[in-house]
Amino acid sequence: MNQIKLTECPRDAMQGLHDFVPTNVKAAYINLLLQCGFDTIDFGSFVSPKAIPQMQDTAAVLDKLNMSSTQSKLLAIIANYRGAEDAVQHEQITYLGFPFSISETFQKRNTNSTIAESFDGVKKIQELAVQKGKTLLVYLSMGFGNPYGDKWNTDLVLNWAEKLSAEGIKDIALADTIGMASPQQIREVYPALTGNFTDVNFGIHLHSTPTTWREKVEAAYQSGCTHFDTAVKGYGGCPMAADDLTGNIATENVLAYLAEQGVSTGIDMEKFSEAMAYSGRIFG
């Protein structure tokens, strides 16, 4: 198996918090994470402050990050072309992350646009990203089903992956937005994607309850997944979806699972312990 890559997601963990986390505290936490050896840090988002008030200081946080002694790349979430225009102004950012839902209902809830409108936006953002030397990473959200009764099946996932790939998008994360993926689904969908689109880098962004993380991670790992999104202590999830129990997959759990498999992640566990300890100042 290829080297495992981990994306740590403090943005996803923090974005739904009710109380505003001071900019200096956010930056200090992310600076600790930058020293751990993660492939990528999902650090902030350029979206409407009305929609996600917690992320209104993303540009200010970015100014306080020390990128001089890290190999980690930075990812910022954007939800439209305007957000992409803001994000590409920052040299430190490598990835623009766009949440593209294959559920019409959720796309409207999450980005106030239809799937068709969002796909048009993705095409324009991809052009901008190429022009500015950035990489567009598209999240196929609601990638394992949805609670709204919208159509879902594996062929639908493959169809959208094909359309995205045809636009030159070669980084896609299959997102279990509300934590409903079963191990069986993961074992069906993930290999179908990697088998059909060998030139695309597929990651997986799972959400789970505290009791279901292992079976999902194991299913993804055994299906050949080499790129996982995680968050310290499993905090976060999507504030536009509903379920207080459904958070991110805890980074420390994935690290422990991979260690059991004899897989080296390259994470500096001493630095990671420092970041874990500091996270209490944010999440309590």
Q: What is the spatial distance between Cα 202 and Cα 191, in angstroms, rounded to a whole number? A: 10
* Domain that includes residue 193, residue range: 5-283
| pLDDT tens string 158-217 | 999 999 999 999 999 999 988 899 999 999 999 999 999 999 999 999 999 888 999 999
Residue-wise pLDDT for 213-253, tens only, equals 999 999 999 999 999 999 999 988 654 444 455 689 999 99
Residue 266 sits in a domain whose CATH number is: 3.20.20.70
The span from the CA of 50 to the CA of 208, in Å, is 27
Secondary structure letter of residue 233 according to DSSP? G
Indicate the pLDDT class of residue 27, thresholds 50, 70 and 90. very high
Instruction: Kindly report, residue by residue over 87-103, the tens digit of the pLDDT.
Output: 999 999 999 999 999 99
Tell me the whole-structure pTM to 2 decimals.
0.95
In this predicted structure, what is the pLDDT of residue 210?
84
**CB distance 71 to 34 below 8 Å:** no
Q: How many domains does the chain have?
A: 1
User: pLDDT-based confidence at 132, cuts 50/70/90?
Assistant: very high
